[in-house]
A and B are shown apart, each in its own frame.
Chain A
Amino acid sequence: KNEVEQSPQNLTAQEGEFITINCSYSVGISALHWLQQHPGGGIVSLFMLSSGKKKHGRLIATINIQEKHSSLHITASHPRDSAVYICAVRHNNDMRFGAGTRLTVKP
């Protein structure tokens, strides 16, 4: 079993829909990151969380340390949000990654 599990693996939404991507982990962590990867490979760090909730524009990330679970929400989704979203946790001095969620937002 992977230490970092993401769901769903693939997600297709219509423009304007509210989207949720989930991440569960089984190791002790000092921080959790949400990353966005567009075709071509470049990765952008969206959030780094160690507790609570963060919001940036239409993106919201939450983490529940006790339940070892985090969610990434996208409100009013747009085709430009189409990308792979990756959950990563910092465990000791390294990073463990989820397999990613491929999001496609259709106009």
Chain B
Amino acid sequence: KAGVTQTPRYLIKTRGQQVTLSCSPISGHRSVSWYQQTPGQGLQFLFEYFSETQRNKGNFPGRFSGRQFSNSRSEMNVSTLELGDSALYLCASSLDPGRNTEAFFGQGTRLTVV
């Protein structure tokens, strides 16, 4: 069974640009969650999607958005990039975290903003 796939693995963008990251969950999983990891703040929750609906959103500005498609693949978008957005972005998929099912993480996308 294929794991969680995140693309691209590495990305370099310039301040002010926008970026879209993709996450393909494990087949059959309906939930995708996104996280940001920085050396200063550690891991922080961005959003959680279940069956195409955003179930919750972390404390991030509106520049961070996401969506989930009918095949459960998810994308997150960051507009007007800032240097502080440089981070490892991780997604995790699960059957339904609301029912305490196990989460499986992707390898992450390392975004560098210059």
**Which of A's residues lie within 8 Å of B, judged by CB?**
30-31, 33, 35, 40-45, 48, 50, 86, 88, 90, 92-100
**Chain A residues, Cβ within 8 Å of B88:** 41
Using A41-B107, A43-B90, A90-B97 as known contacts, say yes or no to A95 and B35 having CB atoms under 8 A apart: yes
B84-102: CB near A (< 8 Å → 1, else 0) gives 0000101010000110111
What DSSP secondary structure best describes chain A's contact surface?
strand
The 5 closest A-B pairs by CB, nearest first: A93-B56, A43-B105, A97-B43, A94-B45, A31-B100
Interface residue tally of chain B, by bracket?
Answer: 20 to 34
A42 touches B102 (CB 8 A): no
A100 touches B42 (CB 8 A): yes
The number of A-B residue pairs with CB atoms under 8 Å apart is 56
Which of A41, A50, A98, A99 is in CB contact (< 8 Å) with B108?
Answer: A41
B102 touches A48 (CB 8 A): yes
Bound Cα distance from A95 to B55, whole angstroms: 12
B100 touches A30 (CB 8 A): yes
Most buried by A among B35, B92, B97, B101: B97
